[in-house]
């Protein structure tokens, strides 16, 4: 710096009209504000992302390598609340929030039918099961085909019967196959109640969107062909204590405390649970009860193979052929 410049600067200091450190202060302050805004925006974004404690990730996401599970900025930025719920998972309302209205009464009856089908829809049930046995936590649990994730997708086309199915058609299917019974009449109080309960559980959920946690998780293909002999070992050590050494369930009085996995009082051969991919996904995510996701995928495939190889009531469609 030449002396004239130094002199000028010194002069500025004395007159306190300008000081070179002001430049540093301005630059520093801008940087600090910029940093603060960046930190705030990342904090907000993180808050919007699914938290580990929140509802489950989409079934497909659970099996992606960790690197692919992170939403990649712009691509997954939610466009509107529906997209947000789909990504983060949906939470249904609690049972104590059922309104004290006529509609609320139907919702309560639907919940009762769903959790105690043996009592509230006895005439339509041909086995020892209740809907809740395969749709846990009163049809609320993600990854056990929760009702709130199903409701908004109907009417929908189903491969099983090659037509567009209403929600009542879908309920009818589970009565006929999973419950080995017959469907209540369309528009009956049982169907209205089950629809009301499902509608209410889906309060606030987007219509027509595939929600995270719908259905049973789709496991990646097994590394080794599912093997019933290995499956029996899993069954004997991990399942028999509740479902009985013979798989026929454990009764307390006339009721099953632990439902039968096969035999005359279980789901019939036309039920979705007899498809090994459904059984493996359900078992992996939900069994042993309270210890979901503790079996390896291979163990889930093997025990599903063992379970689906056992005798059970015939597929009612076969009698018609």
Sign of CA dihedral 314, 157, 153, 48: positive
For 95, the token pair is 């049972």
Q: CA angle, corner 136, sides to 135 and 140, nearest 5?
A: 85
Q: Is 32 in the site for ligand HEC (CB under 6 A)?
A: no
For 90, the token pair is 């949906």
| Backbone dihedral region for residue 111 (phi beyond 0: left; psi -120 to 50: alpha; all else: beta) | alpha
Q: Cα–Cα distances in Å, from 247 out to 193, 232, 273?
A: 32, 11, 15
* Contacting ligand HEC within 256-295 (CB under 6 A): 258-261, 266-267, 271-273, 278, 282-283, 287-289, 295
**Which residue, 98 or 283, is less far from ligand HEC as judged by CB?**
283
Binds ligand HEC by CB under 6 A, chosen from 88, 172, 174, 280:
174
Binds ligand HEC by CB under 6 A, chosen from 243, 284, 305, 312:
243
Q: Is 185 in the site for ligand HEC (CB under 6 A)?
A: no
Q: Is 239 in the site for ligand HEC (CB under 6 A)?
A: yes
Minimum distance, C-beta of residue 30 to ligand HEC, in the bound complex (Å): 53
**Which residue, 19 or 317, is less far from ligand HEC as judged by CB?**
317
Binds ligand HEC by CB under 6 A, chosen from 109, 132, 142, 172:
132
Contact letters for ligand HEC, residues 140-159 (x by CB under 6 A): -----x-x-xx---------
Q: Is 131 in the site for ligand HEC (CB under 6 A)?
A: yes
Whose CA is closest to 212, among 3, 56, 39? 56
Spatial neighbors of 29 by CB under 8 A, at least 6 apart, are: none
Minimum distance, C-beta of residue 43 to ligand HEC, in the bound complex (Å): 35
Question: How many residues of this chain bind ligand HEC (CB under 6 A)?
Answer: 47
Contact letters for ligand HEC, residues 56-85 (x by CB under 6 A): ------------------------------
List of residues contacting ligand HEC (CB under 6 A): 114, 117, 129, 131-136, 145, 147, 149-150, 170-171, 174-175, 178-179, 194, 214-216, 234, 238-239, 241-243, 258-261, 266-267, 271-273, 278, 282-283, 287-289, 295, 303, 307
């Amino acid at each position: 710096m030449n002396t004239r410049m130094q002199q000028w600067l010194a002069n500025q200091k004395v007159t306190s009209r300008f000081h070179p450190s002001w430049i540093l202060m301005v630059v520093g302050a801008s940087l600090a504000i910029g940093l603060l805004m960046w930190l705030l925006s990342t904090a907000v974004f993180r808050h919007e992302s699914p938290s580990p404690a929140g509802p489950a990730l989409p079934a497909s996401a659970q099996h992606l390598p960790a690197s692919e599970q992170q939403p990649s900025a712009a691509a997954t930025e939610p466009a509107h609340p529906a997209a947000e719920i789909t990504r983060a998972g949906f939470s249904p309302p609690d049972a104590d929030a059922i309104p004290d209205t006529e509609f609320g009464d139907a919702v309560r009856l639907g919940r009762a039918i769903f959790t105690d089908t043996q009592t509230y829809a006895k005439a339509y049930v041909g086995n020892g099961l209740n809907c809740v046995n395969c749709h846990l936590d009163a049809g609320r649990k993600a990854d056990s085909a929760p009702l709130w994730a199903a409701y908004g997708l109907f009417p929908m086309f189903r491969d099983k019967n090659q037509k567009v199915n209403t929600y009542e058609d879908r309920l009818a299917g589970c009565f006929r196959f999973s419950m080995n019974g017959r469907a209540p009449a369309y528009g009956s109080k049982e169907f209205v109640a089950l629809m009301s309960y499902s509608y209410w559980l889906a309060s606030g959920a987007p219509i027509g969107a595939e929600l995270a946690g719908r259905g049973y998780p789709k496991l990646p293909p097994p590394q080794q062909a599912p093997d019933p002999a290995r499956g029996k070992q899993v069954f004997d050590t991990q399942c028999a204590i509740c479902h009985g050494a013979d798989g026929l369930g454990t009764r307390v009085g006339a009721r099953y405390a632990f439902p039968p996995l096969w035999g005359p009082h279980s789901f019939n051969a036309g039920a979705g649970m007899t498809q090994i991919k459904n059984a493996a996904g359900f078992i992996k995510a939900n069994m042993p009860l309270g210890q979901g996701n503790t079996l390896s995928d291979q163990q889930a495939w093997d025990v599903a193979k063992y379970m689906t190889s056992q005798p059970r009531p015939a597929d009612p469609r076969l009698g018609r052929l």
